[in-house]
Chain A
Amino acid sequence: MGVHGKFDGLGRFADPSVLILTSLADGPKHGYAIMTDVADFSGVSMEPGTLYGALSRLERRGWVRPLATEERRRPYEITATGQEVLAEQLSTMQQIVRIGRLRTATAWGT
């Protein structure tokens, strides 16, 4: 659990859009598969309301694209624009991580 337990998961901090785009980066997935995948790699348990709120916004911005429905399940695919946006977001986050680590190390001497 570690930090997840202490701070109630990354849910309070993490942007659901980044989590969804990261989940779709290795291939198309339908709604429930995204939820379980996000929970697996980040420990964030995303509620269905949050998931579909974010999916509808991502779709409107053209960052994800719906594929043909299989039974009742519709897989989503990340678009080329979506991949660019994700790469940008991740390098920003990396920058934050780098600076954050540096500053906490200076402040706490770890």
Chain B
Amino acid sequence: MRHMLAARLSRALVGCYPRRWRQRYAEELLDVLDQHHAGARTVLNLAASALGAHLDPAYRTERLPMIRLHKNAFAVAAAVIAGLMVLVLLAGIVVWQDNLGNDGPPPSLSQGVFGVSFSPDGRTVATINTSLEIWNAADLARPQRLGYSRGDIVSGTDPAFSPDGRGLATAGGKTVILWNVAHHPGRPAQITVLPAGPGGVGAVAFSPDGRVLASGYDDGTVILWNAADPARVTRIATLARQAGGIAALSFSPDRHLLASASDSGAVVLWNVAGPARPAITATLRLTVPAPPAQQGDFPDVALAFSAGGHSLTTIAGNRTVTLWNVTGPGTATRITTVTGNSIGSGPVAFSPGGRTVAGAPVTGDKVALWALP
């Protein structure tokens, strides 16, 4: 961004040289600028050189004969000073652009990452610690921090990317915040803060077409929002409360079904084909095994529809993986249940399509990947 601005300013400054100088050198100089990596120094250097060329008698006399110079001395001096002030301002903007979004040390990741999410194309990662951070993960071995938001976001909820990867929803307390992460990846910009919900936000999810945003709260409520215009999000419907706090939300690929899982082990399937009139189609009871009950464990619930939308995979208590057939209208039947070793004791997440599960312990630095049948 900085170099584009500097390059544009440099090219504009070539027009500030005296006319005769330009006739002779402008084309060559523009060609050199095309190949040169322009920075703030290039801009200042060109400004000084252009001023020098104006003061050079060889170029000055032709435009400003001595008599006229005397007469116009004040006007010329004023123009030169005004020009210099503009240049200093522009150079300041170039430097400011360079530093924006990176002032102050970034928050340390060792403070703990509470939430994490991959963009749909898998090239960008958003993490939540005490601020929202955006990482370039194109090279998984060397992720680069692109930038972070101002202000604190303290939340244990994973953020959700919009399907086009341009928007991001984060949870902070009782509110959901929408961010633009495409315009300046180094500077996530708040688009809007949604009205506070009835409890702490436990889950957020975008519909596959990006037009509906679902937010689940720890009192068991789910709210559907019209997010077609991220700047003007409006409430479509509030779903009937279910027992427990909402821990996971997932839309089916055709957007007709919304699955909401609560930490009490119930998954409700909603028909949201018409989001203004949501209706319960089925309630699934998850077998929650006796928790290992160690202090500091946070058994997680996770949901994923299969790529075709015919089945739903659920994980409860980090131990029980269940595959459900959700093709029949109004019904959901259990296909298979696998109870195995604990998939860590912390957060769990599905890959897109639900074929792979990632589980992480609350502490430590290992993540386990599980392939599902």
Taking Cβ atoms with an 8 Å cutoff, the residues of A that contact B are 30-32, 35, 47-53, 55-56, 60, 69, 72-74
Contacts and interface: CB of A to CB of B under 8 A. Distances in A.
A38 to B, nearest CB: 13
B33 A56 contact: no
B25 A72 contact: no
Contact of A60 (B32, B41, B58): B58
A30 B27 CA distance: 12
B4 to A, nearest CB: 17
Interface of B: 10, 21, 24-25, 27-33, 35-36, 41-42, 45-50, 52-53, 58
B45 A73 contact: no
Contacts of B35: 32
- If over half of B's interface residues share one DSSP class (helix, strand or loop), that class is named, otherwise mixed; here it is helix
A73 B31 contact: yes
A50 B45 contact: yes
Contacts of B47: 49
B28 A47 contact: no
B29 A48 contact: yes
A110 to B, nearest CB: 34
Contact of B49 (A32, A52, A72): A52
Contact of B25 (A30, A50, A52): A52
A52 B29 CA distance: 7
Given A52-B28, A56-B21, A72-B28, 9 more contacts: A31-B28, A35-B32, A48-B29, A49-B46, A49-B50, A50-B45, A52-B25, A52-B49, A69-B27
A34 to B, nearest CB: 9
Contacts of A30: 28
B52 A72 contact: no
For A30, A31, A53, A55, the residue with the greatest tally of chain B CB atoms inside 10 Å of its CB is A53
A101 B25 CA distance: 41
A53 B49 contact: yes
29 contacts: A31-B31, A32-B31, A32-B32, A32-B35, A47-B36, A47-B45, A47-B46, A48-B10, A48-B32, A49-B42, A49-B45, A49-B46, A49-B47, A49-B49, A49-B50, A50-B49, A52-B29, A52-B32, A52-B49, A53-B49, A53-B53, A55-B25, A56-B21, A56-B25, A56-B53, A69-B27, A72-B27, A72-B30, A73-B31
Nearest to A34: B32
B21 A48 contact: no
Nearest to B37: A45
Nearest to A31: B32
B36 A48 contact: yes
B301 to A, nearest CB: 56
Contacts of B25: 52, 55-56
Contacts of B52: 53
A16 B45 CA distance: 13
- Which are the 6 A-B pairs with shortest beta-carbon distances? A49-B49, A47-B45, A49-B46, A49-B45, A72-B31, A31-B32
A57 to B, nearest CB: 8
A8 to B, nearest CB: 11
Contacts of A49: 42, 45-50
B53 A47 contact: no
A73 B41 CA distance: 23
A74 B31 CA distance: 10
A31 B25 CA distance: 10
A32 B53 contact: no
A49 B41 CA distance: 10
B32 A51 contact: yes
B9 to A, nearest CB: 12
A16 B107 CA distance: 45
A48 B24 contact: no
A45 to B, nearest CB: 9
For A30, A35, A49, A72, the residue with the greatest tally of chain B CB atoms inside 10 Å of its CB is A49
A48 B58 CA distance: 20
A12 B35 CA distance: 24
For A31, A47, A55, the residue with the greatest tally of chain B CB atoms inside 10 Å of its CB is A47
B350 to A, nearest CB: 50
A49 B43 CA distance: 9
Nearest to B46: A49
Nearest to A30: B28
For A32, A48, A50, A60, the residue with the greatest tally of chain B CB atoms inside 10 Å of its CB is A48
